[in-house]
Structures are given as C-alpha cells and as structure tokens.
Amino acid sequence: MQPLPIAVLQTKLFWENPKQNLEHMEGLLRHLPPKTYLTILPEMFSTGFSMDPISYAETMDGESVHWMKRVAADKKTILVGSLMIKEGNKYFNRLLWVLPNGEIGQYDKRHLFAYAGEDEKYSPGQKRLIASVNGWRINLQICYDLRFPVWARQRSTYDEDGNFQPEYDVLVYVANWPARRAEAWKTLLRARAIENQCYVIGVNRIGLDGKEIDHSGDSCIIGPTGEILHSCESREELFSTILDPTLLLETRERFPFLRDADGFMILSDELPE
C-alpha cells in the first residue's frame, strides 16, 4: 500500500438536469490536483435523487457514462459516482468506478429507500464491489446502505501463509442524505469506520432538491478509529487529501479487534424482485 491521493466533490445538484450538472461539476473539477488517484462524486450526481427513471435513466452507453470516461481520462483519475441506469426493462441506482483507460466497475444499490418509493422504481443490487487501486481495497456503497452494517462488515480472511487479512481498507458511501437526518449520517459513518477498522469516505450533496428537501452535505473523511479527519459541512467544496497507509496498518496492529470478530456468512447475495 502506497499513500493514496483522493478528492471528494460536495456540490449542489440541479434537479433532473443532467446537462447542467455535468457542466457545473466539470467546472469544479478543473481545480482537481494532478496525480489524484480517486475522485468521488455524490449519489445520482447527474439528476439528484429522482424517482423518475423512465424520463432520466441512461444506458451504459449514455451521455453521462461517456462524460465520466472522458473526465477520468482527461484528469487521469478514477472517477466514482452513481447514476440512474436502464438495462432491459429494469432500472438501477448504479455506482460506477471509471478508470482512466475507460474500464468500468459497477455496483447496484442493494438497499433501496422504500420510505421515498425507491424500491418501486429501481431493482436492487445483488453483489458488493470491492475495487483496488495503489494497493488499497475500496468497498463501494450507496447512501441507504449505510444503515445496514452487515452489508459493510469486513469478511476477514487469511492468506496462504496464514496471515490475517481484512477484506478492504476504505469504505465509500455516495449519497443524497437529507439535512434532517444529518446526525444519523455522521454517527453511522463513524460507526462503520470503528467497527471495520478502515477509512470511511462519505460524499453527500448540498442544497434543496426538486421535492424541497434540504441537504446539508457533511461530506467527510474518517480514520480507522472513528476520528474525523475532514468535514465539508454545508459548503460547496472540492477537497483533496492523501490517505496514509501507516495510520491504518498501525491501528490494526495495535488494536487487532477484527481477529476476535464473529465469523458469518451471507447465505445469498440475491434479493427477491
């Protein structure tokens, strides 16, 4: 593991207006520092958290995916964020992990927010995505997934020499998390960091959406003992930093709590339609 330069973009979103959102974010990303390995955008960054996928969902060959590929290539960064995606007759809230060479990893949101009717419009994901960069393993999740700790829980393994190996090093949540539940957002992000002994990155939006729901941002980077390393609060901000592998490894070595964790197995990664 080498030091990992990352950036998070906390921004307002223009309701159901992909063109304006992409133009706005591209302007903000002009200030992205060079040699940023990973750049993270909010959930549904091209539309806001809309329940109208029939009108706004794109295919994997759509304009927003092409935009992500172009920006990732131009900035030489891995670009991450979620979009409405249509496949056949189904819609997904899909997080994309877009490499500068155009390759794409994908994660479909597992836990759909029934309180807002997301489960009526979108299909649930069935598998986690743990991606790799610069020796780091990154577990990628979306918003409401944050409330379900089993889905994020480290599945610890042992290598061929019998050495204990946590499953991942960084847990990422992209979100449109409302201001009225901001304390839950901040508390649960810290809890996920502490219980999994990993860095946690939460990237949220700011401002009112088309339903007059306010979002306070509170995007943050949290260390492996739950310490808040940076919080964006409620301002628009492109924040960059470098994750330190030494802090992570020393924490796990000094406090080897994961070795005492209960073994468990998710019997099926498939959810009923």
Q: Which residues are catalytic?
A: 43, 109, 143
Q: How far apart are CA 109 and CA 124, in angstroms?
A: 6
Q: How far apart are CA 35 and CA 62, in angstroms?
A: 27
Which token pair is 18? 């992909």
